[in-house]
Amino acid sequence: REGNQQLLNACMAHMSQPFHNLHNTPNGGLLASFLGARTETQRLDFWYPDITHHVAANMTSIQAAFDQNRMHYEILIHDVQEEVEKQSDVKEDIPGRHSYAKYNNWDKTVAWTEKMVHKHPKMVSRIKIGTTVEDNPLYVLKVKDERRKAIFMDCGIHAREWISPAFCQWFVYQATKTYGKNKIMTKLLDRMNFYVLPVFNVDGYIWSWRQDRMWRKNRSKNQRSKCIGTDLNRNFNVSWNCEAVYQTISYSIYLDPCREIYGGPAPESEKETKAVTDFIRSHRKSIKAYLTFHSYSQMLLFPYGYTSELPPNHEELVCRKRLMNPLHTCGPTASTIYPTSGSSLDWAYNLGIKHTFAFELRDKGKFGFLLPESQIKSTCKETMLAVEVIVKYILKHTS
C-alpha cells in the first residue's frame, strides 16, 4: 500500500484451485472506480482498498481487464492458500502452549490472560467488559492499578489481521517483564495505566482460525440476508454510513450485508462495539489516548477518515511522525489511505480523546494478512518503540 499502490486479492471458486494476489499501481481513484464497477459482477476480495470480500469465479477475466485498460500489475502471491499453510514457520517450543513467537488461537489467548493475572497479581487485572454475539467474553487487561491517567489499546478488530492480537499480547508481556528493570517502561507504568483489549473481534477471530483464514467481520446475523457479519470498524457512532464519505465506489456496497465493510443496521448495533464504547465512556476522564492496531501497510494514521478537514490538533499529531521508521507512512486516514465512516479512531477522537492513532503493522504487501510468524518479534519490537514514544509525549503534554 505504498502511495497509490493498490492490492487486489482475487480468489478462485474452490480451495483446490489457486488463490492469486495481484499488485497494481495506477492512480488510486481510477483503480477504485474501475474495479468497484466490477464488484457487482466479479466476486473479488480487495485487500486494499477495503471494499469487499468474496471468491472470484474467473481470474482470467480480471487479468484481461487490466491488460485491456493498459493497467500494469504483477502477481505477488501465486497461491494464497499455499501462503496460509506456510504462515506458521516457527517451531513450537512446547506444543499447545502459548508463545509470543507464534500466532495464538482464542483458547490459548484466554489461558494467557489468566496466566498474566496469576503471575502478576499486583500489576495485571482482568476485566470482563461484555460478551460477543456468540457469547464469548470480551476481556480487557488493566496493567497497573492506581488511579491515574490511562491509555486504551485494542487489537484484532478485524479477524484476519493476526499480527494485531500478537502485538497486544507482546505489549503486556514486555510491560510486566521489564517493569523495575527498564527505566523507560518503569517510568511509563509508574505514571500511566494501560487498558489492553487483546482481541476485539473474538467470534471473527475464532472463525478465521477454524473456517476462513481471510474472514474480517464479526459473526452477527443480518436481518433479511443470509450473509453473516458486520465490520466492527464501521459500526461506531461517528458519521456512520455517511454517503458523502464514499465517492469512488457505489454507495450501495456499504449498505450490503454481504460486503466486507458493511457497517451494520445502526451505529453501535454490535455487542462488541457497544461493550467497548460503554467501557471507554465510563473511563473517559482518565483515558488520555486511544491506540488501535491493524494490518497491514506499515502506517501511522490519525483522524479524520470521514472528512478531508483536519482536526484542531493536526500539527500536534503530525509531530508524532518522528517516531516512525522513514519507510513508514503517516497522515490522516482519509487522505493517506481512503475515506471511512464509523471508525473507532474517529469516534474516540470526537469523544474528546485527542491523542488517537491507528497503527497499520507489517508488511507492505508481499505477505499482507499472511505475515509469517518469523516476523512477529521484529514487528512487535518496532511497534513497541513507537508506542513508548507516543506515551512519553502524552505524559509530557496532558494533565
**What nine digits make up the cell of 204?**
471473527
Cα distance between residue 150 and residue 164, in whole Å: 20
Strands 150-155 and 287-295: parallel
Rg (CA), the chain: 20
- Residue 65: what are its φ and ψ, rounded to 5°? -65, -40
Q: Are 70 and 34 in contact (CB under 8 A)?
A: no
**CB-count exposure of residue 5 (10 Å: 0-12, 13-18, 19+):** middle
Tell me if residue 360 is catalytic: yes
Cα distance between residue 343 and residue 363, in whole Å: 22
Cα distance between residue 311 and residue 83, in whole Å: 40
Give the angle 17-39-9 at the CA atoms, nearest 5°.
40
Q: Could you tell me which residues come within 8 angstroms of residue 25 by beta carbon, excluding any fewer than 6 positions away?
A: 3, 4, 5, 6, 72
**Cα dihedral sign for 211, 215, 217, 223?**
negative
For 72-141, give the secondary structure using H, E and C. CEEEEECCHHHHHHHCCCCCCCCCCCCCCCCCCCHHHHHHHHHHHHHHCCCCEEEEEEEECCCCCEEEEE
Cα distance between residue 104 and residue 209, in whole Å: 9
Cα distance between residue 347 and residue 341, in whole Å: 9
**Residue 325 CB coordination number (10 Å):** 10
Nearest residue to 161 (alpha-carbon basis) of 33, 293, 287:
293
Q: Where are the alpha helices (DSSP H) in the chain?
A: 28-36, 59-68, 80-86, 106-119, 163-178, 183-191, 202-210, 271-282, 314-319, 333-336, 344-351, 376-397
Q: Which of the residues 83, 272, 360, 373 is marked catalytic?
A: 360
Q: How many CA atoms within 13 Å lie on the side-chain side of 119?
A: 12
Residues forming the active site: 360
